[in-house]
Homo-oligomer: A and B are copies of this chain.
Amino acid sequence: MEREPSRLELFSDAVFAIIITILILEIKVPEAEGSELWHELALQWPQYAAYVVSFLVIGVMWVNHHTIFGHIKKVDRPLLFLNLMVLMIVAVIPWTTALLAVHLGNPESARIAAIIYSALTVVYAVAFLCFWWYVTRVGHLFRDNVDKDGARATRMRFGLGSIAYPITLVIAFFSAPLAVAAHAIIAIYYAFNQIPIPLIIDDRVPAEDA
C-alpha cells in the first residue's frame, strides 16, 4: 500500500500534462491549396477557440489538484481511487473539446456539444468535491501545518465556487458560444483567485512581497 503522495502526484501530473498536450491532436490540418488555405484556416476558428479555452480549463484543474496535494502527506486507498476518478473525468476533455470544435459552426449541434462539454465539467466538480470532502472529513492525510478545522470549513466555499460549472451548463442550453466564453472567464478568474487552504503556521517563504 502506497503512503507517500509524491509518486501519485507525479503520475497525476503526467496525466494532466498529456491531456493538455493532446488537445492539439484534435485540430485537423486544412488541406486546401493556394490562397484558399487562408479561407479554410479562418473557418477553423471554433477549433482554435475550443483549444484555448480547454487549455485554460485543464490548466486551472491542474493547479487545483496540485494545490491540494501540496498539503497532503499521506495517501490511502480511498484517496487513490477518488484521484483516479478525477483523472478519468479530466482525461475526457480532449474528446469534449473536439466535439465542441467540430460542431461549433452549426448552432443546433453546437448547443448539444456545449451541453456535453459543460456537463463534463459539472461531473468533474462533483468528483473534485468528493475528493475534497474525503480529504477534509478527518484530515488524517494532511500535513501537520494544515489547519484541519479551517480546511473543513472551506468545503462550503469550494462547493459554492463549483456552482460556476452548472451555470455554464444552463447557459449551454441557450447558446454554445456564450457557454464557451463562460468557461474561459471562469478559468481566467480561477487562474488568479483561489480558495486558500488555511495553515496553522505558514512556515514557508512567502512568494509575494519578498
Contact = CB atoms under 8 A, between A and B. Distances in A.
Interface in A145-183: none
Nearest to A10: B13
Interface string A124-151: 0000000000000000110000000000
A22 B20 contact: no
Contacts of A27: 95
Interface in A64-122: 66-67, 70, 73-78, 80-81, 84, 87-88, 91-92, 94-95, 98-99, 102-103, 106, 108-109, 112-113, 116
B1 A194 contact: yes
A14 B37 CA distance: 33
Given A2-B66, A23-B91, A66-B7, A112 B35 contact: yes
Nearest to A87: B20
Interface in A172-202: 191-192, 194, 196
Contacts of A17: 11, 14-15, 18
Given A20-B91, A22-B25, A59 B84 contact: yes
B108 A1 contact: no
